[in-house]
Amino acid sequence: MTQRKFVLVGLLVSAVVAGMFSYLASSNPDGLEKVSADKGLDVYVTDSAVADSIFSDYGISGLANSTGLAGIFGVIVTGLLGYGLVKWVSKSSENQSN
């Protein structure tokens, strides 16, 4: 299997997992969030600067049950950023070796 094929299969599997298993995620707060609420430390909590963005709260605003779609979009964006970073680093190392 070529390296390109391996990466594409990995991205596809990641997108399928993100799309399917996102619905199984718990809506309950995580451990740190729960402890801070139990101890009264959450009085200082403020919303994130991007709390009103289209991808806030693990979904897509305006679309019901869009957690899986947001997960797939996240995999695509992360894959593209990773690809760009690898291309940039490899191009940079090629220029240094010449």
Q: What is the pLDDT of residues 34-64, one digit of tens each?
A: 888 899 888 888 888 888 888 877 788 888 8
Is 40 within a domain?
A: yes
**Mean pLDDT computed over every residue of the chain:** 85
Is 80 within a domain?
A: yes
Q: Which residues fall within 8 angstroms of residue 23, CB to CB, at 6 or more apart? A: 65, 67, 68
Instruction: Return the pLDDT at 9.
Output: 92
Q: Which of 55-59, 68-72, 79-83 has the lowest mean pLDDT?
A: 55-59
Is 98 within a domain?
A: no
Give the separation between CA 62 and CA 54, rounded to whole angstroms. Answer: 8
Is 97 within a domain?
A: no
Q: What is the mean pLDDT of residues 8-14?
A: 91
Is 81 within a domain?
A: yes
Structural domain containing residue 45: 3-92
Instruction: Return the pLDDT at 85.
Output: 93
Count of domains observed in the chain: 1
| Reported confidence tier of residue 98, pLDDT bands at 50, 70, 90 | low
Is 38 within a domain?
A: yes
Is 72 within a domain?
A: yes
b/e for 78-96, b at 16 or more Cβ within 10 A? ebeeeeeeeeeeeeeeeee
Is 7 within a domain?
A: yes
